[in-house]
Amino acid sequence: MRTLMLSILPLAATAAMAAAQGQPPPVAAETTATAIAGVIAAGTKVEVIKSGFTGTEGPIGLPDGSLIFTETQANRITRIDKDNNTSTFLENTNGSNGLAFDSKGRLISVQTTPGKALVGVIYPKGQEATLSDNYDGKPYGRPNDLVVDKKGGVYFSEPGPNATPGQPPPVPALSPAVYYLPAGGKSTRIAEGIERPNGIQLSPDEKTLYVNNTGGEYVLAFDVKPDGTVGNRRNFAKYPTVNKTATGGFNSGADGLAIDNAGRVYVVSLGGVHVFSAKGELLGTIPLSLQGQNIAFAGADKKTLYIVGRGSAFKVRLLAEGYTGRAK
């Protein structure tokens, strides 16, 4: 594992240096994984599907085995079929980022257009609806990711607005937090005091909520209560690679989350896709040539892991099967 991580670190350093010098970022390239027992076979290739997308987030599998993801900056949702062909699934998406399906088959997204941020139904056409656009009368800044439980409740993260280079960060109406929106109800703030909550996911039995913290050292876990609120916050797993910031904080690069049928947790952050056991033990890392942003299982047998990030899309064949109880 140490050898693998050392081989990955220069990639992150190279990307940062290129950005600082105004050079083009590294090109997406195929990588080769080492074995992770029960997850991936040694020598498996991480394939580049395509580059040149405008923002890459929110991947989620469809029943036909294809996958859709959001091009947030292009205001559209793009589809990738099993043969790697891409097409436009939906346009005019109000800056949709994270995606999830509810039990009615509706596609729900967190929508990020400044001044129009909300959680709502984006598809099917004609059924669009706003589920929540504020908490306690204060508008959301830039909701990031979400997961829908079996009762139709929506968990979503609100890390705060993105900073513009060279400008002071905007003051958000709401501090970074995690919310729960029960079906037909109003959002409740269920967790705060997280530097930058990002990717969010439920365990297969929906008894545990996982939250990535881009500004911290650990994946967080919470016990889910019968009413959808959470308690027993704890550090679930430590990110293998974390950088210190100039202000003394942390940058883990932690973004999207996924789970498999065995309850393993897949975290995309600095260094690649890190795979943890249901107990939080690091099992191994799937290397990437670019920093990923979000991940999802898809394919007819749900054994293909898709990774999107930095304008590119990748896929890798796994031994593990993604959780089959919901689309993601």
- pLDDT (tens digit per residue) in 164-208: 666 666 677 899 999 999 999 999 999 999 999 999 999 999 999
Beta strand residue intervals within 112-249, DSSP E: 118-123, 129-132, 134-135, 138-139, 146-148, 154-158, 177-181, 188-192, 197-202, 208-213, 218-224, 230-238, 243-244
What was the pLDDT predicted at 27? 86
Domain with residues 2-162+174-317, CATH architecture: 6 Propeller (2.120)
Mean pLDDT of the chain: 92
What was the pLDDT predicted at 6? 34
Percentage with pLDDT > 70 across the chain: 89
What was the pLDDT predicted at 160? 81
Q: Is pLDDT above 70 for 17? A: no
**Confidence band for 4, pLDDT divided at 50, 70 and 90:** very low
Q: Is pLDDT above 50 for 264? A: yes
Return the closest-CA partner of residue 251 out of 221, 215, 283, 287: 215
pLDDT tens figures, 109-157: 999 999 999 999 999 999 999 999 999 999 999 999 999 999 999 999 9
Cβ-Cβ contacts under 8 Å for 257 (sequence gap 6 or more): 145, 199, 200, 201, 210, 212, 219, 265, 266, 267, 268, 295
Question: What is the Cβ-side half-sphere exposure of residue 82, based on CA atoms within 13 angstroms?
Answer: 10
Element housing 309 (H / E): strand 304-309
- Alpha-carbon dihedral angle through residues 72, 202, 199, 132, given to the nearest 10 degrees: 50
Q: Say which range, 20-29, 220-229, 291-300, has the weakest mean pLDDT.
A: 20-29
